């Protein structure tokens, strides 16, 4: 079985400037776990999952700092910067995951399951060239297992 056999073809998307609150409403109202984020040219530039939205409400851990010769060095500041950006997010582009891994419609289900497990992805956009033609979620894989 291939991606095109189980993918959702009518993909719900948001734009980079969609307010975060609206993204949350889209997920809740459509009972989906995530959405691709498109730029003005309708190209996929990111993906937002429930985890990205939940990260907004998590406790922020301030970085540890040391002072050497009057200068301050922050330890672990990259994760602090990312956490702070998500907490202060107002638009989809502020919380989206930018490194999107996509698959082709010809990819086998076992390969898709492997990618999802190894990379801990909940959603994989299905692309044909630069065009988004579908999306596969972990729920789609579970449905296949249940029907076998």
Summarize pLDDT for 17-51 with one digit per residue, the tens. 999 889 999 999 999 999 999 999 999 999 999 88
CA atoms of 133 and 127, how far apart (whole Å): 6
CA atoms of 1 and 51, how far apart (whole Å): 29
Where do the domains of the chain lie, and which CATH numbers do they carry? 3-147 (3.10.580.10)
Alpha helices in 44-137 (DSSP H): 50-54, 77-87, 92-95, 109-119
56 band by pLDDT with thresholds 50, 70 and 90: low
78 band by pLDDT with thresholds 50, 70 and 90: low
């Amino acid at each position: 079985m291939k991606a095109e056999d189980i993918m959702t073809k009518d993909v719900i998307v948001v734009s980079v400037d969609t307010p975060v609150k609206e993204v949350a409403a889209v997920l809740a109202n459509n009972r989906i776990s995530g959405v691709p984020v498109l730029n003005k040219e309708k190209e996929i530039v990111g993906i937002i999952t429930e985890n990205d939205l939940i990260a907004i409400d998590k406790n922020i851990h301030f970085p540890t700092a040391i002072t050497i010769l009057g200068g301050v060095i922050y330890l672990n500041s990259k994760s602090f910067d990312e956490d702070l950006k998500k907490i202060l997010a107002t638009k989809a582009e502020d919380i989206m995951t930018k490194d999107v891994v996509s698959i082709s419609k010809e990819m086998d289900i076992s390969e898709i399951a492997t990618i999802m497990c190894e990379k801990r992805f909940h959603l994989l956009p299905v692309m044909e060239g630069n065009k988004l033609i579908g999306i596969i979620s972990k729920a789609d894989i579970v449905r296949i297992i249940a029907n076998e």
